[in-house]
Amino acid sequence: MCRLQMRSPRGAMQLKHKGQPDQAPQGGMPWFRVSSRASASHTVVFGRGSVLGFHQADGILGLNTGCVWGGCPSDVWSKSGERIAV
């Protein structure tokens, strides 16, 4: 799962794209936007993909804010949903 960032609309892995989701190959999308993904009924918290940065949407919480590149680590309070930059 570490290398999987982009999927085709049918769910096929697109392993070569490493940039922003809006620069994906035609038809490509972040794995969490594939409607048929098995985890669609759960909230997924992930930290992979520093190009995405902090990302919060229905059922998705991306916490990688690039601390390896000099950004601040991020966290979220589970009860309130408040974002915290450490």
**What's this model's pTM, rounded to 2 decimal places?**
0.68
Contacting residues for 5 by C-beta, under 8 A, at least 6 apart: 14, 17, 18, 30, 31, 48, 49
* Residue ranges covered by each domain of the chain: 6-85
Write down the pLDDT at residue 34.
Answer: 79
What is the predicted pLDDT for the residue at 49? 65
pLDDT in tens, 51-79: 777 878 888 888 877 777 777 777 888 77
